[in-house]
Amino acid sequence: MREAELYKKEKNKVRCLACSHKCLISKDKTGICGVRKNIDGKLFLLVYGKVASMNVDPIEKKPLYHFLPRTTSFSIGTVGCNFKCDFCQNYDISQVSKQGIIFGKEIKPEEIVEKAIKNRCKSISYTYNEPAIFIEFVKDTAILAKKRGLKNVLVTNGFFSKESFDYISNYVDAMNIDLKSFSEDFYRKYCGGRLKSVLETIKRAHEKGIHIELTTLVIPGLNDSDKEFEKIARFIASISDSIPWHISRFFPMYRMLNKPITPIESMNRAYKIGKKYLKYVHLGNI
């Protein structure tokens, strides 16, 4: 646990600035993510130095196909998330903190960097859950990593606030950002977030010169219409037609066990539409 940096005091409460929810948190309460807590008028990051998941992964698994290909990335995540996606593949770590459960292996930023180097990784990925919620831990690790010649990768839902993006962006080399849908309704109903903030993060990251790739999980009946694929592909192309788009196949998960696996036909339709506008379209999980 460590005092957070991205917050401000408002009367006897604290306003967290780490993501676009900007939770106003009363004494002894946590924000939506469950990992940032008001203790005696100061905001603390409960998962600082507490890693719930740690692996050496191929960078392609992030997925990043156009950044340090055929290398491995030392990958870490904590518990907690600022979203509550009904289709979350990592719900066992991302949602537990909302019930007050915090766990993880105690590890310092310098130990993470040492492990990454020892395992011959070329980068560190902050992934599995949402890195914006443990942004101070990300930053301390990323600064050390950069000094040792490692790259830093964020795998994110993109719901950064401007403050948190500015706080971390100088240390970030690549991002995979989920673009889960092109509908505000979808974000509100199935994730508990807002599309607008995600689109802003994508634009900011591109403007900052960070390598970005985007991922859409295609869920039957929810975001698999031609119209939606067109909207996503056109939006990406309006920023740059060189941004890779990963189209990922859905498998029943968490609160969406009643949905079928994405038909290959839908994946191919998305691919065709993507290729009308974009140079790099990749199908995943097929």
136 vs 224, which CB is nearer to ligand SF4?
Answer: 136
**Shortest reach from residue 59's CB to ligand SF4, in Å:** 19
33 vs 236, which CB is nearer to ligand SF4?
Answer: 33
**Shortest reach from residue 219's CB to ligand SF4, in Å:** 12
CA distance 256 to 258: 5
**Shortest reach from residue 164's CB to ligand SF4, in Å:** 8
Would you tell me which residues interact with ligand SF4 (CB under 6 A)? 16, 18-19, 21-23, 31-33, 36, 81-85, 88, 90, 94, 129-130, 133, 157, 191
64 vs 81, which CB is nearer to ligand SF4?
Answer: 81
Burial of 120 (0-12, 13-18, 19+ CB in 10 A): exposed
**Shortest reach from residue 185's CB to ligand SF4, in Å:** 16
C-alpha separations of 9 from 4, 33, 36, 227 in Å: 12, 19, 14, 44
35 vs 273, which CB is nearer to ligand SF4?
Answer: 35
Burial of 52 (0-12, 13-18, 19+ CB in 10 A): buried
**Shortest reach from residue 92's CB to ligand SF4, in Å:** 10
CA distance 91 to 96: 8
Pairing of strands 174-178, 105-106: unpaired
Q: Which residues of the chain form beta strands (DSSP E)?
A: 2-3, 7-10, 13-16, 24-25, 36-39, 42-45, 50-51, 53-58, 72-77, 105-106, 123-126, 151-156, 174-178, 211-218, 245-249, 281-284
User: Left if phi > 0, otherwise alpha if psi is -120 to 50, otherwise beta: which for 33?
Assistant: alpha
**Shortest reach from residue 151's CB to ligand SF4, in Å:** 22
Alpha helices in the chain (DSSP H): 91-94, 109-118, 135-147, 162-168, 184-186, 195-207, 226-239, 264-277
7 vs 245, which CB is nearer to ligand SF4?
Answer: 7
**Shortest reach from residue 211's CB to ligand SF4, in Å:** 20
166 vs 226, which CB is nearer to ligand SF4?
Answer: 166
- Nearest residue relative to ligand SF4 (C-beta): 31
113 vs 133, which CB is nearer to ligand SF4?
Answer: 133
**Partners of residue 2 on adjacent β-strands:** 45
